Structure 1
């Protein structure tokens, strides 16, 4: 094993350990090199995660695998090269070939990923996740799969109990084939989070925090492994930019306390 391969394998091990540790892992999502460097320098940051929506938006594409795979791999590779921290990439549903997509991502320094099931038939979704894990094994690392089920985001008007049952069935299936965690995006209340943790076990559930979500401290108490923020971090930055622009165009000044972070 080369020094670079050893370093990559060590980062994968570190990322897996951060998910299983009793303290919750928070990943403040990034979308380019300067956002990655900025977040990596914030005390308490232990790992980085990319946001596919934000990367696509920054390059002029709509979310939903509209960005060409080559551009996504280049973007996440630049982020991985900009930090010594382990990086997990949001690779959507794998761009038609999850195994090969993850293999290419590992090649540019990525040691974990979100892969969406998009509510495909369960056998097909499980096969996706298995392909991802095989890619990690073939590249010599214990790849950290944050297997995403879209049960809640695609719930429509279905009964909440049925949606929860789907999320549980799918999440258990992904854990059974080796996923590190199950990512269940959506605005989840405490009852739902508790039910999911009970179904998967402690430090196996990954959630996204959006406006109105439970506080990180409460999620930690409930046994959640990981919190991410998806496109919301870029929205925070853009909201601040738009507010500053309004002030400047109204004869204002740059905001007090602005730092030369770039």
Structure 2
């Protein structure tokens, strides 16, 4: 049986948070392949080059039969994240959606299951309210003795509607700066960002302070790295790819297919 890590002590979580923060600040972009359960975490953690684990809130919710957007009860989300923490020795950053109504308390409970960083989204709330949410999350970490690596997400692009692109960029920059001032480690700006937009975001928010998502049509991780981006994640896309493979295999097996001979046994706990 493979080694199963022990539960994280508070000092270990604090050390993981420092490691995660240093990975954001490094010159090499931090690539995280998002996971949704213990076995996906184990598979990703064993890949050469994996330096941290990030959960996908949408994918965890879907695996429990819930829609995205804090429809899953918080205790189920944290239980799933806790199992992911136990599946790896690497630092774990959790997707905590919009903070589940109390960002500080949610971060406190996340630290309790071994999480050392998180995404929390602003959902385009008013700037003052959003900045207070970020500050609450950061202060919760401080009270627990953890320099929590908060990847504060702004939905300026994904909820931007028909606003002119310059207005959206300006909004993302203003929010990003405010969240950094409130103690966030990095600013997550999801959306399909081309080189020019990314360059403006990095110039406005800071080198190694912008986090992006890899979606079909986005730049490559190497291109984002050259533009000064700190982190690239993939949200629910890894789960989508896995489910697509399952669907295709199932269709084959319900026909005349057989299990491919090169299939690896990856769930040997």
TM-score tier after normalising by the smaller chain length:
over 0.9
Q: Which runs of 4+ in 1 moved over 4 A?
A: none
Which among 86, 89, 93 is matched to residue 88 of structure 1? 93
Matched residues in 1 for 2:9 and 2:158: separation?
Answer: 38
Superimposed CA distance per residue, residues 32-86 of structure 1 (whole angstroms, 9 cap, x where no aligned partner): 0000001000110000000000000000000000000111111111111111000
Does structure 1 retain, via aligned residues, the 8 Å contact 2:202–2:227?
yes
In the other structure, the counterpart of 1:258 is 263
SS in 1 for 2:67: coil
Provide TM-score, normalisation by structure 2.
Answer: 0.95
Matched residues in 2 for 1:12 and 1:158: separation?
Answer: 36
In the other structure, the counterpart of 2:36 is 31
Which among 146, 154, 159 is matched to residue 154 of structure 1? 159
Matched residues in 1 for 2:212 and 2:236: separation?
Answer: 14
Q: Which deviates more from structure 2 when the two are superposed, residues 218-227 or residues 245-254?
A: 245-254
SS in 2 for 1:146: strand
Does structure 2 retain, via aligned residues, the 8 Å contact 1:244–1:255?
no
Matched residues in 2 for 1:200 and 1:255: separation?
Answer: 48
- Alignment of 1:60 with 2:65, yes or no, is yes
Matched residues in 2 for 1:258 and 1:166: separation?
Answer: 47
After superposition, the CA RMSD in angstroms is 0.9
Does structure 1 retain, via aligned residues, the 8 Å contact 2:9–2:114?
no
- Alignment of 1:219 with 2:227, yes or no, is no
Mapping of 1:156-235 within 5 angstroms?
Answer: 156-235=161-240
Deviation at 1:190, TM superposition (A): 0.7
Count the aligned residue pairs: 260
Does structure 2 retain, via aligned residues, the 8 Å contact 1:49–1:89?
yes
Matched residues in 2 for 1:121 and 1:20: separation?
Answer: 28
Matched residues in 1 for 2:175 and 2:10: separation?
Answer: 32
SS in 2 for 1:227: strand
Deviation at 1:9, TM superposition (A): 1.1
Deviation at 1:256, TM superposition (A): 3.7
Matched residues in 2 for 1:250 and 1:190: separation?
Answer: 45
Matched residues in 2 for 1:179 and 1:223: separation?
Answer: 18
Deviation at 1:101, TM superposition (A): 0.3
Matched residues in 1 for 2:62 and 2:76: separation?
Answer: 12
Provide TM-score, normalisation by structure 1.
Answer: 0.98
Matched residues in 2 for 1:151 and 1:140: separation?
Answer: 31
Which among 241, 247, 251 is matched to residue 246 of structure 1? 251
Does structure 1 retain, via aligned residues, the 8 Å contact 2:55–2:93?
yes
Matched residues in 2 for 1:4 and 1:113: separation?
Answer: 18
Deviation at 1:255, TM superposition (A): 2.5
Mapping of 1:69-88 within 5 angstroms?
Answer: 69-88=74-93
Does structure 2 retain, via aligned residues, the 8 Å contact 1:56–1:62?
yes
SS in 2 for 1:145: strand
In the other structure, the counterpart of 2:111 is 106
Where does the alignment leave 5 or more consecutive residues of structure 1 unmatched?
Answer: none
Superimposed CA distance per residue, residues 200-259 of structure 1 (whole angstroms, 9 cap, x where no aligned partner): 111000000000110111111100000000000100100111111111112011124210
